[in-house]
Amino acid sequence: MRATFPLGRIAGVRIGVHWSVLLVFAIIALGLAQGRLPETHPGHAPVVYWLTGLATAVVFFASLLAHELAHAVVARRNGVEVDDIVLWLLGGAARLKSEASSPAAEVRIAGVGPLVSLVLGGLFAAGAWLLARVSAPGLAVEGMVWLAGINLLLAVFNAVPAAPLDGGRLLRAFLWWRTGDRLRATAGAATAGRIFGWFLAVLGLLLLMRTGSFGGLWLAVIGWFLIAAATLEGRQAALRATLAGVPVRQAMTPDPVSVPAGLPVDRFLADPLYRFRHSAFPVTGDGGAPVGLVTLDAARAVQGERQSVVTVGDVMLPLSQVAVARPDDALTDLLPRMQPGAAHRVLVLDGTRLVGILSASDISRTVAWLMHSGPGESGHARW
């Protein structure tokens, strides 16, 4: 799940929002401002209901962010780096750069999310009780009650043992512990996720046909998203199984063409060596050490006469923002970080020396080659 709108960083973790959050935000605010709040506390001006509904929706998404940040913090404490957090239709997703090292670490990382939501639900419930005791405005109490209920519901829903929910991660940890096979455990959790998704989708459609309620439609949509996400996890598990034991050096393109950081953009775009081969290139500094990655799209974004004064180093992604790997790293460990697009190449370094480059298409070709050649053979996929 990729962010549509970046929000910045918290504790060094990139935070983003998927467009589907806008839909959920609007539904929550509308449901509160036009439904629950006027029904439970009539007599207020419409603008008061809307302000309360919008504020409650904002606090709800802050709760979701706290849930995902808890995953990120515990993941880091267990040696797993976090790439980013994206809030989306079903809540949020903390994208990890690697897998947990053990079933116990997986339990800690996955279990903390529902625990945080459970604690937040209790805190909001206590806050509602305190506000009622001091005779606070009824709308404020109602907002707190709603936040308590939705966080408790979020904790219970996320604990369902079905991928990609947190409960699915807990199920995977259990299966991993029982079988000793992480990939088989992932496939099992993904299957549970598809079954649960189909259950919700069918139940939602039945409710929609029998009652015509919006809740039925919403349940079906959630089920459909769960099916899609669980299916993706299953495919990724199969991909990891195919690539098990394959080092990065077997899939990378060795000795890639690089671009000097000081080369002006106009010369970079005009040179056939760069213009007609690929869509992204490693950038090297003094002494040939890699310093970043430049894409043709970034270079072409420089307008007119500025191309002669702006250098490749000015428009590149610095090395700190580029995924890197070593030749002997397991290819499966890179999969969580691999994405389509020129800006997502992985630079392969032997110490400080650039020895290769890897793209998502390289991995696809490696998979095809392995399936065609069978186990036990070796070779190189081409970039």
Please identify which residue in the block is written with the tokens 């589907």: 20
Q: Which residues are catalytic?
A: 68
Q: What would the two tokens of residue 126 be?
A: 């206590």
Tokens 């993941």 — which residue? 75
Identify residue 380 by its one-letter amino acid code. Answer: H
Phi and psi based region of residue 359 (left: phi greater than 0; alpha: psi -120 to 50; beta: remaining) = beta
Whole-angstrom Cα distance, residue 66 to residue 69? 5
Query: At 283, is the secondary structure helix, strand, or coil?
Result: strand
Cα 282 to Cα 54: distance, rounded to the nearest angstrom: 46
Task: Report the DSSP beta bridge partners of residue 93.
Answer: 86
Q: Exposure pattern of 240-278 as b/e (b: 16+ CB <10 Å)? A: bebbeebbbbbbbbeebebbbbebbbbebeeeeebeeeb
SS3 (DSSP) at 240: helix
Helices (H), the chain: 20-31, 37-40, 46-77, 103-133, 138-158, 166-179, 182-211, 214-243, 248-251, 265-270, 272-275, 296-300, 312-315, 331-334, 360-373
Q: Which residues contact 163 (CB under 8 A, 6 or more apart)?
A: 169, 171, 172, 186, 189, 190, 192, 193, 229, 230, 233
84-101 CB burial, b ≥16 within 10 A, e <16: bbbbbebbbbbbbebbbe
Please tell me whether residue 292 adopts helix, strand or coil conformation: strand
* 331 within 8 A of 246, measured Cβ to Cβ: yes
Q: Residue 290, preceding bond cis, omega within 30 degrees?
A: no
